[in-house]
Chains A and B, each alone.
Chain A
Amino acid sequence: MNKDVKRVSELLEKKFRENWLKEPEDVKRLRIGQVQGTYRQIASPIIYAESETREMVDYLWLLIDLIKEDKCDINSAKNTITCFLEYKLNKWSAWYKIEEITVLFKEVILAMEKSTNKEEILSLLIPLQMFIGKVNFWLDASIPWLSLSAVFEISLLDKQ
């Protein structure tokens, strides 16, 4: 296995383990309201970040499945993944101030360029998917769903 691919794969695994029972700093900043959206409100950034990471986990899973079953050639897979990660990297960094994930995305993009076979691509994608899944868990657990629902219900009364 290419040494850069191996290094990034191990880095993703390490970061995943570090976040297992400890809230990532990226999530903490969103949870305590340090990241603001329109009119300085603090709900949209964390809700958007949660939904985007959730969707990303699903799409990466589908892509992993296609690659495993040889339904996607190596170059198409690499181009698709790089395209996904570059788009999200810029958006997540600018809007949600997610720093650690975006640094990792850059590492994955560089390592992806050096990967030459299915096994190397999967060695990056599988831990990446699990890592984002864990970040998504922390974001999900930080959103006060019960309170949001109550406020939403009250807002409906105004419209009746």
Chain B
Amino acid sequence: METRDLGIEIGEEKIKVKLLWEDAPNICQILWDNLPLESSATLAKICNHEFMVQLPFNAPLENIQPSIPGSVGWWPVRQNVNIWFGDLGPTGPLGPTALFGQIVDNIEGLFSVAVKTWRKPGTRVKFYKITE
């Protein structure tokens, strides 16, 4: 059976995200139907190692879970994809989030992009389909 995963190119790095089709089917489907997409990223100001990327659609809350490094979540209030990549520390997310993906390749690449994004916000991001 064909797998449907998400590719994210952020700055000069490419990461692969396993989409959680069974746990968050609606978010995954809406995102999938809108791919490919281009947007820009900023870094969280309070919540530590987190990228935030606005997308041009609305999707529901589902699969509300605590995030861990590598989690990819959906925050409907701001139509944001949240990408967590490191220690979330004491000032991490306010609570569980709608998780719809998990980074499975090159999470370490996000650290250097984060430093650049902190210095100059608005890093270009591309989302695309990966099928195998």
In contact, A145 and B45 (Cβ under 8 angstroms): yes
Q: Looking at chain B's contact residues, is the secondary structure mostly helix, strand, loop, or mixed?
A: mixed
Which of the candidate stretches A14-22, A70-78, A87-95, A111-119 sits at the interface with the other chain? A14-22
B63 lies within 8 A of chain A by Cβ? no
Once bound together, how far apart are the Cα atoms of A140 and B78, in whole Å?
Answer: 13
Identity of the chain B residue whose Cβ is nearest the Cβ of A140 in the assembled complex: B42
B121 CB contacts on chain A under 8 angstroms = 140-143, 145
Residues 96-129 of B, flagged 1 when their CB comes within 8 A of A and 0 if not, give 0000000000000000000000110110000000
B26 lies within 8 A of chain A by Cβ? no
A151 lies within 8 A of chain B by Cβ? no
B118 CB contacts on chain A under 8 angstroms = 145-146
B29 lies within 8 A of chain A by Cβ? no
A133 CB contacts on chain B under 8 angstroms = 54, 78-79
User: How many of A's residues come within 8 Å of B, CB to CB?
Assistant: 19
* Contacts known (A16-B56, A20-B56, A137-B54); A130 close to B79, Cβ less than 8 A: yes
Residues 42-72 of A, flagged 1 when their CB comes within 8 A of B and 0 if not, give 0000000000000001100100000000000
Q: Which of A16, A57, A134, A141 makes the CB contact (< 8 A) with B42?
A: A141
Identity of the chain A residue whose Cβ is nearest the Cβ of B43 in the assembled complex: A145
B23 lies within 8 A of chain A by Cβ? no
Once bound together, how far apart are the Cα atoms of A138 and B54, in whole Å?
Answer: 11
A51 to chain B, nearest CB (A): 11
Once bound together, how far apart are the Cα atoms of A52 and B114, in whole Å?
Answer: 26
4 nearest interchain CB pairs?
A: A141-B122, A141-B121, A61-B77, A133-B78
Q: Which residues of A contact B (CB under 8 A)?
A: 16-17, 20-21, 57-58, 61, 126, 130, 133-134, 137-138, 140-143, 145-146
Question: Could you list 6 A-B pairs, sorted by A, with CB under 8 Å?
Answer: A133-B78, A137-B40, A137-B54, A140-B121, A145-B118, A146-B118
